[in-house]
Amino acid sequence: MLNIRINSIKTLLLTLLMIVGISPVALCQPLNINTGFTAPVFNLLEDIIQLTFNRAGIDFRFRQQSGERSIALVARGIDDAECCRVPQAIVRDYPDLIQVPEVVYVARFSAFAKKPLPEIINFESLKPYSVATVSGWKILINNLQKVKPEVFHIMENEESMFKILQMERIDIATFGYLGGLEIISSLELNDIDVIDPPLATAPLYLYLNKKHEKLAPKIAKALKELKAEGKIDEIISSYENR
């Protein structure tokens, strides 16, 4: 009789959680959130997610993975969320993933070259050059495949890409703005610099495995509140103005 009552109470609690939009799975264990970004964007996104999930009352773990592996693990349901992606590529390649409908960060994607810098104003400007980017960076890969530079490499590691740029085995490296500057600094590649303007800017969104679909509105609400309070802008400024 006691076991029946306990099971009834458990069933009632699970039902109530589903009604208010909280995944019981999320309460049992932290959500594993992957990102394909490296420092400093990794740290920026982690700070935003930390603040947002604290506000939403959701525990999580934030982990770096290679770009393709990061999103694939979430699509397969092995991990729970991916931070963060451009919507166009996700809609085409991973239509079952659930977008949290609030922009996390507007990223800049840039070209880098040895000085003196060539004049590059958009993707079309890259056509006569030997160009590289990194696997998993869909916005760069898709646009470069359309443009068809003279030589095009998709590499597995961003530091290797900048090293071969330094050795003049390629003309242009394409990567995220903040991440590229960090690599230039850490490897002391003083004769490489970023080319302005950026090749593209794109709003990045958090994506959930479909089993966590009911968490999306709760996370979006928390993020929107933090933006209204100016707290997200404070985090972004602390990285972009260094």
Q: Is residue 113 part of a domain?
A: yes
158 exposure class (CB count in 10 Å sphere: 0-12, 13-18, 19+): buried
Is the same domain home to 14 and 85? yes
- Mean pLDDT value across residues 48-56: 98
Q: Is residue 71 part of a domain?
A: yes
Is the same domain home to 99 and 6? yes
pLDDT of the residue at 31: 96
Asked if residue 139 has pLDDT above 90, the reply is no
Q: Residue 191 and residue 106: Cα distance in Å, rounded?
A: 27
Structural domain of 56: 2-103+205-233
pLDDT tens for each residue of 225-236? 999 999 999 999
- Mean pLDDT value across residues 162-183: 95
Q: Is residue 147 part of a domain?
A: yes
Domains: count for the chain: 2
Is the same domain home to 197 and 150? yes
Asked if residue 25 has pLDDT above 70, the reply is no
Q: Is residue 123 part of a domain?
A: yes
Is the same domain home to 50 and 130? no
Q: Is residue 241 part of a domain?
A: no
Is the same domain home to 144 and 163? yes
Is the same domain home to 89 and 133? no
Asked if residue 4 has pLDDT above 50, the reply is no
Instruction: List the one residue out of 127, 160, 122, 155 whose CA is nearest residue 141.
Output: 155
Dig out the tokens for 8 from the structure.
């009834």
End-to-end CA distance of the chain: 64
Q: Is residue 9 part of a domain?
A: yes
What is the CATH classification number for the domain harbouring 86? Answer: 3.40.190.10
Instruction: List the one residue out of 113, 183, 187 whose CA is nearest residue 149.
Output: 113
Is the same domain home to 179 and 146? yes
Residue 56: helix, strand or coil by DSSP? helix
Is the same domain home to 129 and 149? yes
Q: At 28, is the pLDDT very low, low, confident or very high (cuts 50, 70, 90)? A: low
User: What is the amino acid identity at position 166?
Assistant: Q
Please indicate, yes or no, whether the overall pTM of this predicted structure exceeds 0.95.
no
Q: Is residue 144 part of a domain?
A: yes
Is the same domain home to 210 and 96? yes
